[in-house]
A and B are shown apart, each in its own frame.
Chain A
Amino acid sequence: MKKIIKLSKKQRYWLDFVSAMTQKEIKARYKRATFGFLWLVLNPLLQMLVMGFVFQFFVPVRVDNYFLFLFAGLLPWNFFAQSLTKTTPAFFYERNLIKKAKFPREGIILSIIFSNLFHFLIALILLMIALIGDKLLIESYTFMQLINYALRMLWVFPAILLLLLFTIGLSLITSSLNVKFRDINFIVSLAVMLWFYATPVIYALNLLPEFIQPLFYLNPMTTVVEMFHYALMGLPMTMMNFVWVAIVLIIAIFYFGIKIFNKESKNFDDWL
């Protein structure tokens, strides 16, 4: 096989290592589970049905196509929430490994995030196929309409990129600090629970009073979830000009994540 990009031996090793760790995460998760990969679609699906039932019939939220709206938001949110709660105590759980061998420490965090990403992408692709199928077979779109529809879906790529950078950056910060300060883990699980309600997953931002809306854009997940809503459902972003806030915040957090990790990881052994 001809290699397009020439990698140094070190970079090659790093890639092999992270990919092997990721494969381990994926394989180990579904080993000896009879339904195996089915869980990865079943999980958000059941979550969507329960939530949809509650917010459609008990406390109605006025959003068209509410079940789909929920699903499109829950996928990226679950990826983020599950990754963050799992990575935060990861160095602490892998202390045996960290104290015994020298290897790229970030592999532990990245493998968790990439294995979640793998699951997230499969669920997302299944959703996109279902959506296109629906437009093609039931709503019988014309060819041009279908092309436009598919082109809009391309917006998932920048959305995934932002989501991934944000998750990696924040995970590096919380997991590195959790080595010394074990409270971080408790704070994160609490914060994720509250954070869910500060992100427009079960409601749409434009249902809120207008003066409060900009505040929500201080939460990068608002922008990410809205980008998914736009890409998958065509719902316009509530405040387009606030996208930059999220992009700047995400890049800053990614940068600080790497900084903090580099500083702290040298001394993980002392604290575990």
Chain B
Amino acid sequence: MTILEEKIIRNRKHTNDVVISLSDISKKYIITHEKPTLVEDVSRILRFQKKEEYWALQNVNLKIYKGEKVGFYGPNGVGKTTLLKIIAGISSPTLGRVSTKGRIISLIDLEAGFHPDLTGQENIFLNGLIIGMSKDEIDRKFKKIVSFAGIGDFITAPLYTYSSGMKLRLGFSVAIHANPEILLLDEAMNMGDEEFQQKTRRIFDKMLKKQITIVMVSHIYKYLNDMCTKIYFMSNSEKIDPKYII
């Protein structure tokens, strides 16, 4: 049983629009000790063994309203990332129903979809399409994306010539220009140099003020306490360990 305990951090106004609704979400994983192969499957069936199962989430019910900044907090292995992936549509629940409204951008890995041999320009298009922007939209925002990333003339150079900071900035720049209505963040975003961090901080502050719904997951309480309007404490045991409720 996954327990969610709600704690309101600050009462910021949000609308009554439900943008994320999870009803009776459960997620089952099948545990394989070796990599899953046909041989293992056949031998398991021959020995009449059942598959080993693990429920990462059980009966999760929640509604997130437009404009809310929601944090999920809990120890490792409680299903935080699984929950985020289900909201993002990367993973699908074994049971239950998810419905979301509006464009979801997940800042889980900014460099996913970059190809080292293509130029920065080509990668902006590829990455933009992968996170769900349309071609016209990328065309329109192309200049802004490049200038925000601050990579200058490197835009026409292949990506393998970039420093890791430059790649990160490019990825982040594409993601925030996608105009997300729902933003998903996994763990504390700690990236780039001082200047870029300040830049991202300003962007987040702007988003916090706007009616953008933010869902973040972390095991650092302070980080969530700073940003969120509501925190859910997650636990797998019957009761939530009081040391986690601060």
Contact = CB atoms under 8 A, between A and B. Distances in A.
User: SS class of chain A's interface: helix, strand, loop or mixed?
Assistant: helix
A101 B131 contact: yes
Given A27-B122, A102-B132, A271-B36, 11 more contacts: A16-B129, A17-B130, A21-B126, A28-B115, A96-B112, A100-B108, A100-B113, A102-B88, A102-B104, A103-B129, A183-B37
Contacts of A28: 115, 117-118
A268 B29 CA distance: 12
B38 A181 contact: yes
Contacts of A183: 37-39
Interface size range of chain A in the complex = 20 to 34
A206 interface: no
A31 interface: yes
Interface string A179-219: 01111100000000000000000000000000000000000
Contact of A27 (B106, B108, B118, B131): B118
Nearest to A20: B129
B239 interface: no
B41 interface: yes
Contacts of A96: 109, 112
B134 A181 contact: no
A42 B104 CA distance: 46
Nearest to A99: B90
B147 interface: no
B90 A24 contact: no
Contacts of B158: 31
5 contacts: A9-B134, A13-B132, A101-B109, A103-B130, A270-B91
Nearest to A102: B89
B74 to A, nearest CB: 20
Nearest to B88: A102
B37 A24 contact: no
Contacts of B37: 181-183
Given A31-B117, A96-B109, A97-B113, A17 B129 contact: yes
Contacts of B13: none
Contact of B109 (A17, A32, A100, A102): A100
Nearest to A18: B129
Nearest to B125: A20
Which of A27, A97, A102, A180 neighbours the largest number of chain B CB atoms within 10 Å of its CB? A102
B50 interface: no
B36 A269 contact: no
